[in-house]
Chain A
Amino acid sequence: MSKSYFDETHCAIGHPKSTFMQWMLTIDHKRIGIMYAAVMFTFFFVAVFTALAMRIELFAPGGQYMDGDTFNQAFTLHGVIMIFLFIIPGIPAVFGNIVMPLMIGAKDVSFPRLNWFTFWLYIAGCCIALASLFIGEGVADTGWTFYAPYSLNTGTNVIMALVAAFVLGMASILTGLNFLVTIHRLRAPGMTFFKMPLFVWGIYATAWIQLLATPVVGITLILAIMEKYFGIGIFDPAKGGDPVLFQHLFWIYSHPAVYLMILPAFGIMSEIIPTFSRKEIFGYRTIALSSASIAGIGYLVWGHHLYTSGMSDIAKTVFSFLTFFVAIPTGVKFYDWVATMYKGKIVLSTPMIWALGTIITFAIGGITGITITMIGLDIHLQDTYYTVAHFHYAILGGVVFLMFAGMHYWFPLVTGKMYNETKAKIAFYLQFVGFNLLWFPMFIAGYYGMPRRYFDYLPEFEIYHQISFFGALIFIAGLIYMFWVFFKGWTKGEAATPNPWNATTLEWHLPTSPPPLENHSKVPYVDFDPYEYHQGEPVVKFNYETMQRID
C-alpha cells in the first residue's frame, strides 16, 4: 500500500519521530487544513451551545435563569467565537489550505513554513480569547462589534478580546498573503487565470480582502487599546473623540469581511453544481469576474451599517446606492448556477443537496438583505430580529451550509473513506427544516419590532421565540448527527476511489486516495478548461503515474 499524507510529512523544524510532534510541526498544507478544521469546529460547537442557552432563556418572556448582564456576555461570546474564531478563518483556512494547492497542481502553498506559523498564530489568538473568559470580570459584554465608547468603559475583558481579534487578524492576513502568492506563482504550467477552478477564484478574491481590509480593523483595535490604557480620547466624545469614527473604521473591515466569508463558499457552490450536473459550468468568466467585483464593490458599502448612527443624508444615499450594486454580481452567479443545471444530468448526491438547499436559504438571506439596504426601511428594521435573521440566513444558510456541502464533497478526498449517503441526507433534511424553523419566525418578529440583544420581550413575541426554540433543537440534532455520520465514515466507512464523484478538477486526479505527501505524482500540463464534460462524462483523463492525458 502506498503512503498517504497521514503516514509521512515534512516538518518546520527537524525530523521528529513521534506522530504527535509530526502533526504539531507539520508544514503539509493538507494536515494544517485538517488541524484548522478540528480547532474551528470545537469552537463552533461552543458557540452553538451558547446560542442554545440564549434560546432557552428566550423561551418565555422575563428573566428565567440568566440575568441581563450574563445574556450580554453570552451573545458577545457567541458572536466573537463565530466570527473571529470560526467563520473568518473558515473556508479559506480549511479548504483553501487542503484543496486549493491540489486544484492548481502545486506541491504545497508558496510559504509552507509561514503557513505553519500562521496556524499557531491562530491558536495563540484562540487562547487569548479563551483566557478572557476566566480572567477578571469575564468575557466582554459589548457584542462582537465592540462599539465605543461603551467598550472602553465597561469593566469586562474587552481589551483581551481586542488583542485576540488582532492576533487572529494577523493570522488571517498571512493566510491571504500566502494564498495570493501561491495562486500567482505555483499554478501548473498551462493553467491561466481563466483555466483555474472557480473555488480558486473565490479564494483569490477572498485573499485580497483578507490582505487589504484586515489591517484597518487591526489598527482600530490598537487605537481602542491606546484609548483604554493611555487615555487618548480617540473614540470617546467626553474626551473630544468621535465614536462614529470607530464604527466607520470597524466596518471598513467588517463589511468586506462578510464577502471574505461568502466568496469561497460561492466557490464551493461553483465546484459542486457542474460536477453533479455533469455539465460544463454556465458563464465561467462571469462567475470568476463577479467574485472579483463583489470583493471590489464590497469595500465601498460599509456605511450601510451606520444609517442610524449619525451620517449625512448624502452619504447614506450613496452607501445605499452602492450596496444595491453588490446584488448584481451575486445575482449573476445565481443565474449561472441555475443555468448550469438546466438540461444537465443531475445527480442528487449529498453535496448537491446541500448546494441546492443553500440556493434557497441564501436567496432568502440575500433578498432580505436588499430590503434593509433601503434607508427608509432600515430605520425601522435596524437592530431588530429581522436583521439577525437576514444575517443568519446569509452566513449560516449561505457560508456554513456551503462549508458543509464542501465537507461532504471533499470528505473522500481528505480521508480516503466514504460516509453513509443515506444518513448524510437525513442529517441534511433535519438541519434544513430546523434552520428554517429557527430563523424564519425571526423575520416576522423583527418586522413587528422585536429588538435584538434583549433577554426579555413583550408577551406577543412569545410564539416566534418558541417556534425558534424548537427549530434550534431540530437543527442542533441534525448538526450532531451529521458529525456522527462523518465520524463513522472516517472510522468505518468504505475506502473511496480517487475520483468518486466523476469530477474534473485536478484535486480528483491524484494517484491515491487519500493523497500522497507531495500531491500529484507529477505536475500535469493544463490545456483544458476546469469543467469539461461531454454527454455527462468527464472529458479529460489522466494516467495518474505520469500525469499525461490519455483521452
Chain B
Amino acid sequence: MSHEYIPEIATERNGTEHEVQGWQDDFYGGKLGFWLFMLTEVMMFGAMFLALAYYNTLHQQDFLDASASLNRLLGGTNTVILLVSALTMGLGLLKMRAGDVKGAKLMIWATIILAAIFLVIKGFEWSAEYHHGIFLMHDQLLADSPLPFGQKLFFGMYFTMTGLHGFHIIIGIGLMLWLLKRINAGKVSQDHHILYWNIALYWDIVHLIWVFVFPYYYMIGAGGATGGH
C-alpha cells in the first residue's frame, strides 16, 4: 500500500479508545509470519535428519567410511564462509536500523559475494566427487555397483540434502538482489525494514541448517580416517 495507513479506533462503552491493528503496516505480523514459515523449513530438514539418523543406525560402518571420504577442508571452509556471511547480513540489518543505508547495501553485497563463493566451492566439491565416480545416477551409485548399500544411501542423501541446501542459497541470493532493488526504490528504509528483517532471518536459517549438515556428513567419519581427496 503506497498511501499512508491510518489505524481505526474502537471505542469501549466507557469511551476508552483502542487503536485497531489492521493487516496493513503490521511489522510484528510480518515477523511472526516469517518465523512460522521458517519453522516449516526446520520441520522439513528435520524429517530428513531423522531419516539420516535412522539409516546411520542401520549402516553405521558404511556411513563412517563414506563420511571419511568427503573433503573436510572444502566443507570446513564453506562453513566458515557461511558463518561470516551470516555476520555480514546481521551487521547490514543493524546498519539499516541505524539509518546507514549505504553501509547496509555494502553488507548485502558482501553477503551475496560470500554466498556465491560458497556455491563455487560446492561446485568444485561435487565435480571432484563426480570424477571419483560418486554422483547421483552415475558410476558407483548405480544399483549394480559393488559399493555397499549404506554408502550409496549416505551419498544419495548427501547430494539430496546439500543440493536442497544449495537451492536455498540460490533463492537467498535472489532474495538479496530483490532486497537491493527495493532499497534503491526507497521501499525499504529505516522505518520500513520488515523485508530486510525477514530475509536476514531466512539467511540465518540457511546457515543454521548448514551448521547441522556439516557435522552430520563431514565430521562423523573424521576420526581415524585420513580424510580429503
Q: Which residues of A contact B (CB under 8 A)?
A: 106-112, 173, 177-178, 180-182, 184-186, 188-190, 211-216, 218-220, 222-223, 226, 230-234, 239-242, 245, 249, 252, 522-525, 527, 547-549
Contacts and interface: CB of A to CB of B under 8 A. Distances in A.
Contact of A190 (B18, B59, B137, B149): B18
B136 A110 contact: no
18 contacts: A173-B40, A184-B32, A185-B21, A185-B29, A186-B29, A188-B10, A188-B20, A215-B43, A216-B43, A216-B46, A216-B47, A223-B51, A231-B136, A240-B149, A252-B47, A522-B8, A523-B10, A525-B10
Contacts, number: 145
Given A214-B40, A527-B13, A234 B8 contact: no
Given A185-B29, A230-B137, A231-B141, 14 more contacts: A106-B23, A177-B33, A215-B40, A215-B43, A216-B43, A216-B47, A219-B47, A219-B48, A230-B159, A232-B141, A233-B153, A240-B58, A241-B55, A525-B12
Contacts of A218: 44
Interface in B153-186: 153, 156-157, 159-160, 164
B71 to A, nearest CB: 21
A216 B46 CA distance: 8
B142 interface: yes
A226 B18 contact: no
Given A186-B23, A189-B18, A231-B137, A220 B33 contact: no
B129 interface: no
Given A110-B23, A178-B33, A234-B51, A215 B44 contact: yes
Given A109-B23, A112-B23, A188-B10, A233 B51 contact: no
A240 B43 contact: no
A403 to B, nearest CB: 26
B29 A223 contact: no
A252 B46 CA distance: 12
Nearest to A244: B54
Given A215-B40, A234-B153, A110 B51 contact: no
A522 B11 CA distance: 10
Contacts of A216: 43-44, 46-47
A272 to B, nearest CB: 28
Interface of B: 8, 10-13, 18-23, 26, 28-29, 32-33, 36-37, 39-41, 43-48, 50-51, 54-55, 58-59, 136-137, 141-143, 148-150, 152-153, 156-157, 159-160, 164
Most central of B22, B45, B136 by chain A CB within 10 Å = B22
A232 B136 contact: yes
Interface of B is mostly: helix
A211 B23 contact: no
Contact of A181 (B22, B33, B41): B33
A231 B33 contact: no
A95 to B, nearest CB: 19
Contacts of A230: 136-137, 156, 159-160
A138 B143 CA distance: 27
Nearest to A218: B44
A11 to B, nearest CB: 13
Contacts of A190: 10, 12, 18
A282 B67 CA distance: 60
Given A524-B10, A525-B13, A232 B152 contact: yes
A181 B29 contact: yes
A10 to B, nearest CB: 10
Contacts of B43: 212-213, 215-216
A174 to B, nearest CB: 8
Contacts of A110: 23, 26, 29, 33
A181 B36 contact: yes
A190 B59 CA distance: 57
A233 B12 CA distance: 64
Given A231-B136, A525-B11, A242 B44 contact: no
A107 B39 CA distance: 27
Contacts of B150: 240
Nearest to B31: A181
A349 B195 CA distance: 49
